[in-house]
Amino acid sequence: MEHFDEYMFTGPPPPLGPMVQVQSLATNLPAGCGAAESYWSLIATGGEAHTEVSPDRWDPSVYYAPDEGAASRGQTSTKHAAFLQASELWDLDAGFHGLREKEAKLMVPEQRLVLRTGYQALADVGLGESLKGSRISTYVGDCANESATYCPALDECRQNGTLSAATASRISHLFGLRGGACSFDTACSSSLVALGHAHSQLRLAPVFQDAQSRQSSGALVIGVRVLFGPEGFVGLGAAGFLSLHGRCFTFDSSAQGFGRGEGCCSVFLARDDPEDGEDLELHLASVSGSSVNQDGRSASLTAPHGPSQQSCIRSSLRMANVSPDKVAVAECHGTGTSLGDPIEVGALRGVMYDRRQPLLMTSSKSNVGHAESAAGLNGLAKCVLMLMTSASAPNVHLRSLNPNLDTNGFPCLYESECVDADQNSQNIGVSSFGFGGTNARADLWGHCVRFYIFRRIPDFKNFKNMYRARMDNLQADSATADRMVEEANYAFFLNTRIFQELDSLAGFEAEPVPPPASAPAASHAEAAAHAAAAGCPFASLAAQGLAMPDDHPGLADTEKVDKELAKAPEQEDNKAGWRLASAAAVIALSAGIRAMWT
């Protein structure tokens, strides 16, 4: 490839024009996915979050009946879904969020989840009390507030604590935000419609040149859904939408309905204009395009409409200035219905059929269920994580392909295991379709974390804090540690070295003194970066101008490495060379640790 060396340093080229960056991601999803890392662990390993309904929601002995006539008796034939734990629904520190005890006690779980995950998304980018008066907007996808049914509005506190209209305003009130605060209800596409609105606002907004630029052009987008009572199960079951097993058998021949899910997901977006000359701080991915449209007059109000879905996908790709054949992964709506899956695949085929590399087809609903108003952001969060890891997560419950899927002449891959994605084509699209005909699409661009770290070497403060937090949480499986003692020892060695490099860089930034005599030569930085981009755990030696060890790629003799490092040539006063080579060593060491513990 002509520009292969360039891609090794920078990753795939970014889309043209102003981009909207995903600066943080917070999740509160079933199966203990209270953080993005645990969410990725679940979906990458093909796990699922579905459980049987607990009596604290509704009594299955009263509302559940495993027969076709259940709906006529006001019962449901499904008793499984992806549920949050009761503590995740109700826990809230009223004093921390500036709420009166009475008001907090009467708040529905949707508002509690929005407060917690919204705060986490803002805190992850270092935003807090200083936000007061800033023009950050809050957009929430929220539909069918079932919890309010069990909390009659008898006074002001109950009224504010149960209305969906007040959900988005909670965050704005807490932080004193002056941007827009809106709730969107388009059923299954609510949160992705909210993201599309935020993306359009930020993309068209002027770029402010003062110190408040980030705060003046930011948006917090949240999707939330809670399955509080049996009414939704009974109604959807009567309409024939639900799977009897309570799970989404996406793309599978046994698909006959979707499984429900709940949870909350939030992202913080900020505009980044390449012509502005100022890079934003650490970001996870870029939203390069988005689109929202309607089916209009179709076969029925609830039937999917393939041509409208195609139009929505094309519109988003045009905004992103991305050719359809450059999209590596399609995060599908994928509810697992006999009608919806074939129509969606047909729409993707109509747009992306002309390609050489197969399109990877996946859906988070097979893992965490169809979270309805939160489903769009659940899928977008998965896309961000796939971009960061350069991998595509598998579909769960996929045993035999649905024969109604039109795959003839369409290069695509329906995954049943985690697949490495092409690092030079990091474009992913996510789709979400509401049952009332409102379609939403977002396209994201990003690259593997190791490319990003190299591009952002001046900003190590956030990376250092993030890395220390991650390393504190790493735990080796005891059986693996017993089998691979050498690897564990070398991982500890790499862990120590990376903190040394980071501390050196931090000290240099604080005290502008000449680099030490043992600083690595600038001439070796390029070789180190090439080796690091290739994932070599020993690329740090290249930063010192030393030869790579001949040992097994996963093992090393620590004493040998120490001896080699002791031979590092002395370097003259070369500020730029020392900084660049040290940064390359940081990348290499982090790649080595990642190789040891993943």
According to DSSP, the residues that pair with 181 across neighbouring strands are: 138
Give the tokens for residue 447.
């690259």
CA 67, 70, 71, 73: dihedral to nearest 10 degrees?
Answer: 160
According to DSSP, the residues that pair with 444 across neighbouring strands are: 287, 428
Give the tokens for residue 524.
């070796």
- Is residue 156 domain-shared with residue 272, that is, in the same domain? yes
- Is residue 145 domain-shared with residue 226, that is, in the same domain? yes
- Is residue 398 domain-shared with residue 513, that is, in the same domain? no
Tens place of pLDDT per residue across the chain (598 aa): 344 344 444 445 566 666 799 999 999 999 999 988 899 999 999 999 999 999 888 888 899 998 878 888 889 999 999 999 988 988 888 888 888 888 888 788 899 999 999 999 998 887 776 788 888 999 999 987 776 666 655 445 455 545 777 888 888 988 889 889 999 999 999 999 999 999 998 988 754 444 444 445 699 999 999 998 898 999 999 988 999 999 999 999 999 899 999 999 999 999 875 555 445 455 789 999 999 999 998 888 888 999 999 999 999 999 999 999 999 999 999 999 988 999 999 999 999 999 988 999 999 999 999 999 999 999 999 999 998 888 899 999 999 999 999 888 899 999 999 888 766 558 999 999 998 999 999 999 986 554 333 333 334 445 445 444 444 444 444 444 444 455 545 555 555 655 565 555 555 445 454 544 444 443 444 444 444 434 444 444 444 444 444 443 333 334 443 444 444 444 433 444 444 445 555 555 554 444 443 4
DSSP string, 83-133: PPPHHHHH---TTTTT--HHHHHT--HHHHHHHHHHHHHHHTTT-SGGGTT
CATH code at position 57: 3.40.47.10
pTM over 0.75: no
CA distances for 483 relative to 130, 476, 480, 555, 559, angstroms? 50, 11, 5, 12, 21
> Do 246 and 81 meet the contact criterion of CB atoms below 8 Å apart?
yes
- Is residue 388 domain-shared with residue 483, that is, in the same domain? no
Query: What is the span of the domain harbouring residue 491?
Result: 459-597
Amino acid at 312: C
According to DSSP, the residues that pair with 54 across neighbouring strands are: none
* Residue-level length of the chain: 598
User: The tokens 């040998």 sit on which residue?
Assistant: 560
- Is residue 503 domain-shared with residue 411, that is, in the same domain? no
- Is residue 245 domain-shared with residue 359, that is, in the same domain? yes
Q: Which run of H or E residues covers position 454?
A: helix 449-455
Give the tokens for residue 569.
């040539």
Buried b (16+ CB within 10 A) or exposed e, 178-198: bbbbbbbbbbbbbbbbbbbbb
State CA 147 to chain mean position distance.
Answer: 27
Amino acid at 10: T
- Is residue 152 domain-shared with residue 198, that is, in the same domain? yes
Among residues 417, 451, 485, the one where a domain terminates is 451
Among residues 401, 420, 451, the one where a domain terminates is 451
Among residues 451, 467, 490, the one where a domain terminates is 451
Q: Which run of H or E residues covers position 419?
A: strand 419-420
CB atoms within 10 A of CB 231: 16
Q: Which run of H or E residues covers position 76?
A: none
User: The tokens 């997560």 sit on which residue?
Assistant: 393
* φ, ψ dihedrals at 340, nearest 5°: -70, -45
* φ, ψ dihedrals at 268, nearest 5°: -110, 125
Give the tokens for residue 522.
């600038």
Distance CA 370, CA 183 (A): 19
Distance CA 488, CA 332 (A): 39
Q: How many domains does the chain have?
A: 2
User: The tokens 């934003």 sit on which residue?
Assistant: 280
pLDDT given at position 173 = 87
Q: Which run of H or E residues covers position 259?
A: none
> Do 24 and 284 meet the contact criterion of CB atoms below 8 Å apart?
yes
CA distances for 37 relative to 32, 89, 160, 246, angstroms? 11, 20, 33, 25
- Is residue 559 domain-shared with residue 435, that is, in the same domain? no
User: The tokens 């590092």 sit on which residue?
Assistant: 568
- Is residue 483 domain-shared with residue 436, that is, in the same domain? no
Give the tokens for residue 591.
């790649």
- Is residue 216 domain-shared with residue 262, that is, in the same domain? yes
CA distances for 258 relative to 247, 251, 417, angstroms? 6, 12, 21
- Is residue 355 domain-shared with residue 275, that is, in the same domain? yes
- Is residue 207 domain-shared with residue 244, that is, in the same domain? yes
